[in-house]
Amino acid sequence: MLVNMNSGANEEEILEVETWIKNLGYSVYRSIGETNTILGAIGSSNEEFKKFLEALSFVEKVTLDSPPFLLVSREFKKEKTVFKVGDVEIGGGKVILIAGPCAVEGRESYLQAAEAVKAGGADILRGGAYKPRTSPYAFQGLEEEGLKIMAEARDITGLPIVTEVMDQHNVEIVARYADIVQVGARNMQNYKLLTELGQLNKPVLVKRGMSATIEEWLMAAEYLLSQGNKRVILCERGIRTFETTYTRNTLDISAVPIIKELSHLPIFVDPSHGTGRWKLIAPMSLAAVAAGADGLMVEVHNTPKEALCDGSQSLIPEKYSQMVGSLKGVAETVGRTL
């Protein structure tokens, strides 16, 4: 249930409605918009109560039917969510570029890559210290050692860092180093992890699960917001379809305008995991920005053939810089900067 208060409603009046709703046994959430306040409550609701509330002079309208997500929805909060990570504004006019290798493989190579992507126009550094691998025998990441290397790269480049947390036990340690904590596709419905991250004082980037519906993905974000963490980024990374020869996943660009319509949260796109092939990164990045993406997450590796992980979907720094050049024009055409 959503209750739109009149634009002139005062604190006392808002509290009165909140109390009425709480008395019915529901939790109530408040969204203070530019023009008016909206109250949201989850739970079955009834026509009589709607009529009662709408009869109050300071209530504009009451909506009973709504999708299962509340706090992430545009209906609850009309203004786009914008927040800063270091000096980088997420969700604003500038399209944000996250770049770096899939995994942190060593100090020297990571610092080189970090400087290269900074020079090529990245805003945020990516890198994996804990890697979710299909095989128990594959390289699992450098763990805390990798986090330290990333922190060093941040000190050198001045760019914030984003890295994945796979593990409830490691939330604290990852959060100690990272500026943005990433939830991987395989953990998008790891609800206990989401609940912990919802209580964390750090922005969280939530990748779409590989066969997650739009609604399930928004519900994952709802877990975070319902725990109080409002700095959430959604990141499309390709869905699983029957086409497995020419792409690893099918990058769902339509998720960008759909999320922008349904939610106030910033929406990023990862064309590296989303396609699995480096040749597709540039055209799909252009497509994502044209469709309205708030940011991109791209894998860049100095020597992709030697990468311990996902080399085939990484750009070399030179190609990355070229791509950033062509992105500028598209960003400007759709009213954004880069």
Return residues touching a copy of itself (CB under 8 A). Answer: 27, 42-43, 68, 132-137, 166-169, 186-187, 189-192, 195, 210-211, 213-216, 219, 222-223, 226-227, 239-247, 250-254, 256-258, 261-262, 274-275, 279-280, 283-284, 286-292, 326, 329-330, 332-334
Q: Tokens in use for 33?
A: 């918009």
What is the dihedral angle through the alpha carbons of 79, 31, 198, 160, rounded to the nearest 10 degrees? Answer: 30
CB of 318 to a copy of itself, least distance (A): 19
Please identify, using beta-carbon distances, which residue of 60 and 252 lies nearer to a copy of itself. Answer: 252
- In Å, the largest CA–CA distance within the chain is 68
Work out how close the CB of 135 gets to a copy of itself at its nearest, in angstroms, rounded to a whole number. Answer: 6
Instruction: Find all residues with CB under 8 Å of 23, minimum gap 6, and list them.
Output: none
- Give the shortest CB-220-to-a copy of itself separation in angstroms: 8
Compute the distance between CA of residue 258 and CA of residue 289 in angstroms, rounded to an integer.
14
Token duo for residue 183: 């939830």
Return the number of the residue (42 or 56) whose C-beta is nearest a copy of itself.
Answer: 42
Q: Which two tokens stand for residue 9?
A: 């409603």
Closer Cβ to a copy of itself, 67 or 158, answer by number: 67
Q: Which of 169/305 has CB closer to a copy of itself?
A: 169
Rounded CA gap, 168 and 182, in Å? Answer: 13
CB of 244 to a copy of itself, least distance (A): 5
Smallest gap from residue 57 Cβ to a copy of itself (A) = 30
Task: Single out the residue of 73, 74, 76, 96 nearest to residue 84, CA to CA.
Answer: 96
DSSP line for 22-87: HHTT--EEEEE-SS-EEEEE-S---HHHHHHHHTSTTEEEEE----S--TTBTTT--SPP-EEETT
Query: Of the two residues 6 and 140, which places its CB atom closer to a copy of itself in the complex?
Result: 140
Q: Give the CA distances from residue 127 to residues 19, 22, 103, 182, 217, in Å, rounded to whole numbers and listed in that order.
A: 47, 44, 5, 10, 23
Q: Check if the beta carbon of residue 35 is closer than 8 Å to that of residue 60.
A: no
Q: How far is the CB of 277 from a copy of itself (least distance, A)?
A: 9
* Pick 9 or 103: Cβ nearer a copy of itself: 103
Least distance to a copy of itself from the beta carbon of 221, Å? 10
CB nearer a copy of itself, residue 179 or residue 222: 222
Please report which helix (H) or strand (E) contains residue 181, including its range: strand 180-183
Query: Smallest distance from the beta carbon of 289 to a copy of itself, in angstroms?
Result: 7
Q: How far apart are CA 93 and CA 161, in angstroms?
A: 21
Integer-rounded Cα Rg, in Å, for the chain is 21
Taking the least distance from each CB to a copy of itself, the nearer of 7 and 254 is: 254
